[in-house]
């Protein structure tokens, strides 16, 4: 199916991206709304629909200065990957109801699980908007908040809320962690704005449409995506590709529409590079390159674009697997969620007669404490100590060691419990 990016022309009638779109915002003046927005201008039926949505929205919310709403309904394909008559209906109420959960968005203690609960599993839209504003991303991209909201809603809609781990709460968690690292003095002063914007966007989309199964499962089951991407970084390639295909579907979600061609190419290259860096099969390559460039070097080193690229990769990787460095309750919650997703994969593998790729994640015999200490011992500790050498994060390292002790105790407790149960049987 050919793509019509603007929704104009005869193809657009048949395959129209945008049916209704209404906005009310302090960021958009009322005369512009009443005369129809950019994409509806000159199309009377759309203007009528827009105005009726506008009226409905105002009635719904009894709008005031700090409130805005977006209601958008899309029915379209995203290339071959169906966003299945996706109804993107976002009501963003920037008001006191999420203030409490959003107030720590720049702190490591930020509780994304609480935000997930109050937003009814739409944390990405709300935290995303706030964090992107803080980094002036909309100004850099020369778009208004409405387009960013629509894009965030569309991206969030393409995460699977049925996944226990790889859902939009995880994306929000990674975005928040990435933003936290970017705000550290050393990075804030040395990373170019385009690099910061690219990292934040990459964090938002980095697991979009994740099926809740790993690359090895998809490859072993000869899945469509494995064939499409030749078994190489299958999911990461899909996340990056889908993000761009969705973004260019319509001007109302195209956050890059006002970016110059050269700059767009640069942003696109950086986003793809960062998303691909989250492939854990390349983990040790990325960490050792980072270590040899930074930790072994006597001179500080963020001056070259190449070294900042290594930092960007390491930054998104650290953000992606930072759960063991979060406060205890969050650390435990994420550990339970990832285990549940892996348990389901193991069951699926057994059912389908596929090789079991992560034997320790069998719900009948898994020792969660042992799984977590193993993860910290083999992956987390080395990576974060290398990161800490360049970007000091002492309080996070303290959390990590506290959590490690907790998991070690858990590991022993579970083993003892099982040994006692075996004796009684």
Query: Cα angle at 312 between 306 and 315, to 5 degrees?
Result: 145
For the chain, report the end-to-end CA distance as a whole number of angstroms: 62
166 carries an active-site annotation: yes
Quote the radius of gyration of the chain (alpha carbons, Å): 23
Query: Is residue 145 annotated as involved in ligand binding?
Result: no
Site string for Zn ion, 189-228 (x = CB under 5 A): ------------------x---------------------
Minimum CB distance to Zn ion, residue 319 (Å):
9
* CB closer to Zn ion out of 320 and 411: 320
Closest separation in Å from C-beta 30 to Zn ion: 41
Nearer to Zn ion by Cβ, of 161 and 297: the residue is 161
Question: Does 207 appear as a known binding residue?
Answer: yes
Is 385 within any annotated ligand binding site?
no
If the CB atoms of residues 175 and 259 are measured against Zn ion, the closer one turns out to be 175
- For the segment 17-46, give every residue that binds Zn ion (CB under 5 A): none
Whether 168 has a binding-site annotation, put simply, is yes
Catalytic residue among 166, 238, 239, 286: 166
Rounded alpha-carbon distances, angstroms, from residue 7 to 10, 74, 85, 157, 285: 9, 11, 16, 20, 43
- The DSSP secondary structure of 251-313, one letter per residue, reads TTT-TTTTS-HHHHHHHHHHHHHHHHTT-GGGHHHHHHHHIIIIIT-SS---SSHHHHHHHHH
The span from the CA of 178 to the CA of 402, in Å, is: 22
Both tokens assigned to 239: 């996340």
Q: Does 320 belong to an annotated binding site?
A: yes
Are 282 and 237 in contact, with CB atoms under 8 Å apart?
A: no
Q: Which of residues 282-321 bind Zn ion (CB under 5 A)?
A: 320
81 has binding-site annotation: no
CB of 110 to Zn ion, least distance (A): 17
Burial class of residue 91, CB neighbours in 10 A (0-12, 13-18, 19+): middle
Q: Which CB, 279 or 320, lies closer to Zn ion?
A: 320
CB of 165 to Zn ion, least distance (A): 9
CA atoms lying within 13 Å on the CB side of residue 227: 4
105-124 footprint of Zn ion as x/- string (CB under 5 A)? --------------------
Tell me the Ramachandran region of residue 120: left when phi exceeds 0, alpha when psi lies from -120 to 50, beta otherwise: left
Helix axes 283-290, 381-390, angle to 10 degrees: 30
- Give the nearer residue to Zn ion in terms of CB position, either 98 or 217: 217
CB of 53 to Zn ion, least distance (A): 34
Chain residues binding Zn ion by CB under 5 A are 207, 320
Active site residues: 166
Q: Binding site for AMP: residue ranges?
A: 166-170, 207, 320, 372
Q: Binding site for Zn(2+): residue ranges?
A: 170, 206-207, 320
Q: Binding site: residue ranges?
A: 166-170, 206-207, 320, 372
């Amino acid at each position: 199916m050919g793509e019509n990016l603007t929704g104009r022309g005869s193809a657009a009638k048949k395959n129209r991206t945008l049916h209704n779109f209404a906005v009310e915002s302090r960021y958009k003046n009322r005369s512009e709304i009443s005369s129809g927005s950019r994409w509806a201008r000159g199309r009377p039926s759309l203007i009528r629909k827009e105005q009726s949505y506008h009226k409905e929205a105002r009635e719904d919310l009894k709008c005031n200065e700090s409130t805005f709403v977006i209601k958008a309904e899309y029915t379209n394909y995203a290339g071959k990957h169906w966003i299945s008559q996706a109804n993107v209906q976002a009501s963003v109420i920037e008001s006191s109801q999420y203030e409490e959960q959003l107030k720590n968005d720049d702190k490591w203690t930020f509780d994304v699980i609480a935000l997930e609960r109050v937003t009814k599993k739409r944390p990405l839209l709300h935290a995303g908007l706030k964090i992107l504003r803080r980094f002036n991303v909309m100004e850099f991209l020369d778009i208004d908040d409405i387009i960013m909201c629509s894009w965030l809603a569309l991206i969030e809609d393409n995460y699977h809320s049925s996944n226990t781990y790889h859902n939009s709460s995880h994306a929000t968690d990674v975005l928040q962690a990435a933003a936290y690292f970017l705000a550290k003095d050393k990075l804030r002063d040395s990373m170019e704005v385009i690099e910061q914007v690219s990292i934040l966007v990459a964090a938002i989309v980095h697991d979009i449409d994740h099926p809740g199964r790993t690359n090895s499962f998809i490859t072993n089951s000869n899945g469509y995506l494995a064939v499409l991407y030749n078994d190489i970084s299958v999911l990461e390639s899909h996340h990056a590709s889908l993000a761009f295909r969705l973004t260019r579907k319509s001007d109302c979600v195209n956050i890059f529409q006002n970016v110059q061609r050269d700059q767009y190419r640069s942003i696109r290259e950086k986003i793809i590079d960062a998303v691909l860096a989250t492939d854990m099969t390349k983990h040790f390559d990325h960490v050792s390159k980072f270590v040899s460039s930074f930790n072994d070097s006597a001179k500080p080193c963020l001056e070259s674009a190449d070294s900042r690229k290594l930092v960007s990769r390491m930054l998104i990787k650290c953000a992606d697997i930072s759960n063991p460095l979060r406060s205890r309750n969050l650390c435990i919650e994420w550990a339970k969620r990832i285990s549940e997703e892996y348990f389901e994969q193991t069951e699926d593998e057994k059912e389908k007669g596929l090789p079991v790729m992560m034997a320790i994640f069998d719900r009948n015999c898994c020792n969660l404490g042992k799984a977590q200490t193993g993860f910290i011992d083999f992956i987390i500790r080395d990576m974060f100590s290398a990161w800490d050498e360049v970007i000091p994060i002492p309080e996070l390292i303290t959390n990590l060691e506290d959590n490690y002790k907790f998991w070690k105790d858990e590991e022993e407790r579970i083993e003892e419990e099982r040994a006692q149960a075996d004796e009684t049987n």
